[in-house]
């Protein structure tokens, strides 16, 4: 569900050079011929490849890392407590009973290192979800605003998964070109790993009380991409400089969460999280959450919008524009009636290739109905009455709840 700009231009092969110390000749004891040992990863070189591919920051971590056992135990406890909700993919296990995501070595026993990259989606000129907006406006999480020009020059939705995976694979290909054959896998939110834990271990930031990775300069509005390799890290780079927890006594994210999903610092109950409810959860949304979902129709930015570290990041300097992840103006505080008027064909036209498509046509309508009920706008009653008679249980329940709420106001 998330839970990090500069476009890669041209070929990396004409701009990157491998450090001389990474090529180590030795003599084969059987043939007497000179050969080369398997290469080792250099932190500086791996980071340079990532930055040239368009990422804003990158860190390298040797596997297993020092806090891996602690992180694995925390993940097991979180899943065991039922906090993953209906996200069954987080509960998948290996043949020996270990959760696939608790350690990278479980699904990838050959993994000896991970390069974790951060691509920002922070837009200084855009509003925050916590700022007052016109009544009748919805909120779509800012990571889903992304778009790029197609071959005809038209602005179309873009999906960060595809954009960043392409960059990650460019890094992977360049490494293979320079270092020879080795096992590797690239992922952007889709692999059996916990990118946030790897990112913290690689020195990219710390895990905040809102459970997001917070980079000390870039904040938490960022995507994470990971490249696992079977290559060792050279000895002098084996230990990443960790970023200490700088949340201090601040509890703004915990206090701001409308559904109390952050009931314990550094832990999030997905079953109460607005992002989970509006994206991952299927069917009716419990009435106990509906009023507190407010105007969020896809995802939620509240716990990040109130974070002081994001405020500092926006003030520290301009975020480099990314032509493949530029925000679509129409998705920033979109009008509820515009969203509601979409039929399934128009939904596909507007969101095919966008993260918003994940919630589905009826799922988005369900979320729109709840936002209409929370808007206080009586003119939405006619649309809600139509939806209240639909056959889809989730949309029907949301529309009936919204009508009841509007009639009370």
HEC per residue, the chain = CCCCCCCCCCCHHHCCCCCHHHCCEEECCCCCCEEECCCCECHHHHHHHHHHCCCCEEEEEECCCCCHHHHHHHHHHHHHCCCCCCCHHHHCECCCCCECCCCCCCCCCCCCEEEEEEEECCCCCCCCCCCCCCCCECEECHHHHEEEECCCCCEEECCHHHHHHHHHHHHHHHHHHHHCCCCEEEECCCCCCCHHHHHHHCCCCEECCCCCEEECCCECCEEEEEEEECCCECHHHCCCCCCCCCCCCCCHHHHHCCCCCCCECCECCHHHCHHHHHHHCCCCCCHHHHHHHCCEEECCCHHHHCCHHHHHHHHHCCCCCCCCCEECHHHCCCEHHHHHCCCHHHHHHHHCCCHHHHHCHHHHHHHHHHHHHHHCCHHHHHHHHHHCCCCCHHHHHHHHHHHHHHHHC
Residue 297 tokens, joined: 């129709």
CB atoms within 10 A of CB 14: 6
CA distances from 93 to 70, 88, 131 (A): 18, 10, 42
Specify whether the CB–CB gap between 228 and 111 falls below 8 A: yes
Task: State the catalytic residues.
Answer: 189
CA distances from 302 to 1, 101, 276 (A): 15, 27, 13
Residue 249 tokens, joined: 């006594």
Residue 86 tokens, joined: 């209906």
Choose among 21, 60, 63: nearest CA to 43: 60
Specify whether the CB–CB gap between 270 and 91 falls below 8 A: no
């Amino acid at each position: 569900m998330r839970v990090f700009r500069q476009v890669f231009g041209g070929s990396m092969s004409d701009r990157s050079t491998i450090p001389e110390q990474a090529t180590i000749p030795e003599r084969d004891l059987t043939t007497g011929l000179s050969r080369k040992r398997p290469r080792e990863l250099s932190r500086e070189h791996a980071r340079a490849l990532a930055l040239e591919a368009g990422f804003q920051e990158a860190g390298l971590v040797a596997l297993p890392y020092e806090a891996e056992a602690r992180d694995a135990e925390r993940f097991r406890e979180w899943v065991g407590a039922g906090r993953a909700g209906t996200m069954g993919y987080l509960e998948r296990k290996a043949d020996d009973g270990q959760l696939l995501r608790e350690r990278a070595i479980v699904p990838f026993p050959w993994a000896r290192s991970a390069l974790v990259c951060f691509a920002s989606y922070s837009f200084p000129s855009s509003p925050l979800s916590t700022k007052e907006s016109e009544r009748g406006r919805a909120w779509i999480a800012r990571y889903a605003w992304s778009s790029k020009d197609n071959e005809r020059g038209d602005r179309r939705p873009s999906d960060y998964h595809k954009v960043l995976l392409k960059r990650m694979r460019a890094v992977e290909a360049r490494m293979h070109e320079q270092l020879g054959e080795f096992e590797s896998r690239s992922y952007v939110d889709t692999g059996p790993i916990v990118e946030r834990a790897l990112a913290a271990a690689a020195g990219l930031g710390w895990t905040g009380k809102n459970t997001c990775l917070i980079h000390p300069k870039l904040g938490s509005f960022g995507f994470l991409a990971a490249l696992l390799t079977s290559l060792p890290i050279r000895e002098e780079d084996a230990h990443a400089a960790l970023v200490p927890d700088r949340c201090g006594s601040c509890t703004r994210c915990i206090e701001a969460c409308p559904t109390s999903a952050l009931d314990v610092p550094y832990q999030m109950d997905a079953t109460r999280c607005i992002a989970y409810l509006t994206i991952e959860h299927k069917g009716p949304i419990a009435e106990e959450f509906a009023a507190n979902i407010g105007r969020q129709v896809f995802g939620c930015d509240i716990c990040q919008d109130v974070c002081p570290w994001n405020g500092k990041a926006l003030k520290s300097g301009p975020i480099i524009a990314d032509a493949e992840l530029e925000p679509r103006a129409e998705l920033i505080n979109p009008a509820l009636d515009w969203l509601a008027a979409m039929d399934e064909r128009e939904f596909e036209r507007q969101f095919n290739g966008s993260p918003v498509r994940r919630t589905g046509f009826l799922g988005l309508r369900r979320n729109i109905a709840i936002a209409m009920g929370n808007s206080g706008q009586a003119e939405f009653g006619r649309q809600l009455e139509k939806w209240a008679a639909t056959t889809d249980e989730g949309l029907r329940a949301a529309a009936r709840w919204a009508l009841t709420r509007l009639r009370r106001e």
